[in-house]
Amino acid sequence: DVKVTQSSRYLVKRTGEKVFLECVQDMDHENMFWYRQDPGLGLRLIYFSYDVKMKEKGDIPEGYSVSREKKERFSLILESASTNQTSMYLCASSLDANTEAFFGQGTRLTVV
Amino acid sequence: GENVEQHPSTLSVQEGDSAVIKCTYSDSASNYFPWYKQELGKRPQLIIDIRSNVGEKKDQRIAVTLNKTAKHFSLHITETQPEDSAVYFCAASIRGGATNKLIFGTGTLLAVQP
């Protein structure tokens, strides 16, 4: 079974804090993705990575950055958290762009 | 940018009826179209996918159709059961820089009434 694991299920952070969301996959997948899920807006792509140290912006990258130093780990960074970044964050991985993506359990982030 | 539109946003059917969810996409080069089901409090999971070299694919009570000319694809669930109640997302693999990216629709909340 593919396992995609996110480091936290729930997080509460203060406005202005730097926040790290970690994601690890155990299937040697090339592609990794970060989405945020908001009611009525579906899953919106923040950033994705197709190889170590390689990254591409998604549809809503503003206020976020990512890091992929090792193939199995993809980190999402909120440089200075704001209340409008309160959301459910989902990490996913896939072998390539045209195969099944496996999701982590999600991190519900609240910025106060 | 390139996007995926999904309709309806909510759908209520009686148990045993059929349900249809429709999606359109904008990138004519897209060639992979998965559907995901997300039950309450759980992660999205793939239920069926289709590639651009086929027009229809079926797996028991679930089928997906693809019309590449019109750039739309649909999910069909027959003989719906209460356990089909969930949010369903369509997605398309869309060109994004050096490689393709997976873009999702906004989701359909399906409620199957017993």
pLDDT exceeding 90 applies to what percent of chain A?
Answer: 94
For chain A, the average pLDDT equals 95
The per-residue pLDDT for range A17-63, each reduced to its tens digit, is 999 999 999 999 999 999 999 998 999 999 999 999 899 999 999 99
CA of B88, closest CA in chain A: separation in Å? 10
Of B43, B98, B105, the CB nearest to A104: B43
Q: Quick check: A56 and B96 CB within 8 A? A: yes
The pLDDT value recorded for residue A2 is 67
The per-residue pLDDT for range A99-111, each reduced to its tens digit, is 999 999 999 999 9
The per-residue pLDDT for range B46-94, each reduced to its tens digit, is 999 999 888 999 999 999 999 999 999 999 999 999 999 999 999 999 8
The answer, yes or no, to whether residue A3 has pLDDT greater than 80, is yes
Report how far residue B72's alpha carbon sits from residue B52's, in angstroms, rounded to the nearest whole number: 11
Is the minimum CB–CB distance between A32 and chain B shorter than 8 Å?
A: no
The per-residue pLDDT for range B11-51, each reduced to its tens digit, is 999 999 999 999 999 988 899 999 999 999 999 999 999 99
Instruction: Provide the 10 A C-beta neighbour count for residue B93.
Output: 27
CA of A25, closest CA in chain B: separation in Å? 15
Q: Quick check: A33 and B102 CB within 8 A? A: yes
The pLDDT value recorded for residue B53 is 84
